């Protein structure tokens, strides 16, 4: 037997895709270890536990994980209900992690610091593919692995506010005034926003979620002000198709947001890029540059950076990665997920071949595999790990039989908000046949704050573009 076969496959991250990988590895009888940086499984999911994913339960559960849970007598949730992040963690991911087939192989509080090959740096080629991976943890422990599946995601590496991809001047010093995407405005974080002026930067639906929550808060809390800033010259793509939208959640979000802006409850700044931030007297002054090269200073109490996420490949600096220079995904995957060409639902099926690097046996999957593209869907990640694990088991026929059925109008998030009266999308609107109204299958930005009813589409209802990212 090849000595490498006795080593585990190391899975980094115990979120939905990482635990799905573990379930598939168990079914294939491959040894594995799951390393989770957080204190519990699904630690990142729990950080946005107050919001609902944009897809019903039937799209949120990996098939291999479902088989393990069903065998254990798991009571499945209503397949058409929309879970919150907390429900996703407590009703699905935690029970999955607690199964005896997975629990002994899961380590929490294990942050990966670096990945290399045992005794080989990136320059050494001789014997490389037969040399184990070396996974070093933050506490100095080292683990040998036959392969590495990196499902660590991008939640901890948000994009910066600066328009050039670099932090704006003073951004680091102003960190105390900045909020991560999707703060719990109406819940645990309410006191930070009530009676204060908040600037939300971003044109995706995570920004829209926060804006609608802030508008609701402003109706209850005097003195609460909301300003919305986007880099584009028009919010049209964020507003979506309104009542004509094939996805009612997206249409509801856009309609409510437009109503707030039109009524002046949300001040909109367009053609906006953050140049500098200066804290002073308990507030922060944000200097912006407009498309006409003019400058404006906006003084606020809080800034919500809903500007999306980016992958951190630094842990794999000693591996041979072939990354697209634009997306930060593999070169084979990048053109398939380019948000300039694709919405969430038009990304074609892909698996091990598109995820492979020159470093044989290393795969980034899930959100991290998409680099900076905001078009990732959870169902896509499940099919990725099924394909990768089949390849690791030597079943190349199954690995290359990639199947993915997604709604062509796939949109990743929404936040219907009945409190209203009266640019960073996934890509151009695809032309689609009329479809049943439903919800897309993603969590990569696909969040909402209240459940929706699913209704049948009228015959005249057509597909609209997919706006997936923050």
Same domain, 282 and 261: yes
**Is 167 a domain residue?**
no
Residue 385 domain boundaries: 3-156+309-400
Helix (H, G, I), strand (E, B) or coil at 205: helix
Cα–Cα distance measured from residue 224 to residue 221, given in angstroms and rounded to the nearest whole number: 6
Q: Are residue 211 and residue 284 in the same domain, yes or no?
A: yes
What pLDDT shows up at residue 249?
54
Q: Does one domain contain both 260 and 297?
A: yes
Q: Tell me the three state secondary structure of residue 323.
A: strand
Instruction: Give the pLDDT confidence score for residue 453 in this predicted structure.
Output: 34
The 8-class DSSP code of residue 248 comes to H
Dihedral sign (CA 296, 204, 454, 434): positive
CB-CB contact of 266 with 227 (8 Å): yes
Q: Is residue 209 part of a domain?
A: yes
In this structure, the answer to whether residues 179 and 138 fall within a common structural domain is no
Greatest CA span in the chain, whole angstroms? 71
Cα–Cα distance, 470 to 141 (Å, whole number) = 36
The per-type count for the chain, helices as H runs and strands as E runs, is: 14, 18
Domain annotation covers residue 349: yes
**Does residue 465 sit within a domain?**
no
Residues 91 and 43 in one domain: yes
**Helix segments in 72-137, DSSP class H:** 85-88, 94-98
CA distance 253 to 414: 6
Residue ranges in the chain whose pLDDT is less than 50: 245-247, 407-470
Distance in angstroms (rounded) separating the CA atoms of residues 148 and 363: 6
- Annotate 397-453 with DSSP letters as a single string: HHHH-------TT--------TTS-----SSSPPP------------SS-EESS---
CATH code of the domain containing 186 = 3.50.50.60
Residue 353 belongs to a domain: yes
Q: What are phi and psi of 226, to 5 degrees?
A: -130, 125
- Does 405 map to a domain? no
Pairing outcome for strands 295-300 and 283-290: antiparallel
Residues 88, 231 within the same domain: no
| Alpha carbons 332 and 353: distance in angstroms, whole number | 8
Claim to verify: residue 302 and residue 313 sit in the same structural domain: no
**469 domain residue, yes or no:** no
In contact, 377 and 344? CB cutoff 8 Å: yes
My answer on whether 9 and 134 are in the same domain is yes
Distance CA 185, CA 194 (A): 9
Q: Are residues 299 and 187 in the same domain?
A: yes
Q: How many domains does the chain have?
A: 2
Is 459 domain-assigned? no
Q: Are 118 and 145 in contact, with CB atoms under 8 Å apart? A: no
Residue that the structure tokens 């645990």 belong to: 188
Do 67 and 184 lie in a common domain?
no
Contacts of 458 (CB under 8 A, 6+ apart): 434
The answer to whether residues 150 and 285 belong to one domain is no
* Shared domain check, 444 and 378: no
């Amino acid at each position: 037997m090849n000595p490498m076969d006795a080593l585990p496959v190391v899975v980094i991250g115990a979120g939905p895709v990482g635990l799905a990988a573990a379930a598939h590895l168990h079914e294939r009888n491959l040894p594995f270890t799951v390393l989770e940086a957080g204190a519990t499984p699904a630690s990142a999911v729990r950080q946005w536990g107050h919001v609902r994913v944009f897809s019903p339960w039937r799209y949120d559960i990996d098939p291999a994980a479902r088989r393990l849970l069903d065998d254990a007598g798991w009571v499945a949730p209503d397949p058409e209900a929309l879970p919150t992040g907390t429900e996703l963690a407590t009703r699905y991911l935690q029970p999955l992690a607690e199964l005896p087939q997975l629990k002994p192989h899961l380590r929490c509080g294990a942050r990966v610091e670096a990945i290399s090959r045992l005794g080989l740096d990136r320059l050494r080629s001789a014997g490389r593919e037969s040399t184990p991976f070396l996974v070093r943890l933050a506490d100095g422990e080292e683990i040998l692995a036959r392969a590495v599946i990196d499902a660590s995601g991008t939640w901890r590496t948000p994009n910066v506010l600066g328009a050039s991809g670099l932090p704006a001047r003073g951004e680091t010093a102003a960190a105390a005034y900045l909020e991560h995407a999707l703060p719990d405005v109406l819940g645990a974080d309410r006191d930070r926003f009530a009676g204060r002026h908040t600037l939300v930067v971003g044109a995706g639906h995570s920004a829209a979620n926060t804006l609608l929550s802030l508008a609701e808060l402003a109706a209850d809390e005097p003195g609460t002000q909301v300003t919305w800033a986007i880099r584009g010259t028009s919010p049209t793509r964020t507003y979506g198709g309104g009542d004509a939208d094939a996805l009612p959640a997206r249409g509801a979000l856009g309609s409510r947001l437009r109503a707030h802006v039109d009524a002046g409850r949300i001040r909109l700044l367009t053609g906006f890029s953050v140049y500098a931030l200066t804290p002073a007297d308990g507030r922060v002054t944000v200097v912006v540059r407009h498309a006409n090269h003019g400058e404006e200073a906006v003084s606020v109490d809080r800034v919500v950076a809903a500007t999306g996420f980016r992958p951190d490949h630094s842990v794999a600096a000693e591996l041979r990665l072939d990354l697209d220079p634009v997306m930060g995904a593999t070169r084979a995957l990048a053109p398939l997920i380019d948000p300039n060409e694709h919405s969430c639902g038009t990304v074609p099926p892909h698996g091990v071949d598109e995820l492979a690097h020159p470093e044989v046996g290393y795969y980034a999957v899930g959100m991290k595999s998409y680099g900076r593209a905001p078009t990732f869907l959870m169902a896509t990640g499940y099919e990725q790990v099924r394909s990768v694990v089949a390849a690791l088991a030597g079943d190349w026929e199954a690995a290359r039989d990639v199947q993915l059925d997604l709604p062509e109008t796939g949109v990743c998030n929404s936040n219907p908000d009945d409190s209203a009266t009266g640019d960073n999308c996934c890509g151009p609107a695809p032309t689609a046949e009329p479809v049943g109204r439903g919800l897309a299958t993603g969590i990569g930005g696909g969040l909402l704050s209240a459940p929706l009813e699913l209704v049948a589409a009228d015959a005249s209802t057509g597909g609209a573009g997919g706006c997936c990212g923050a």
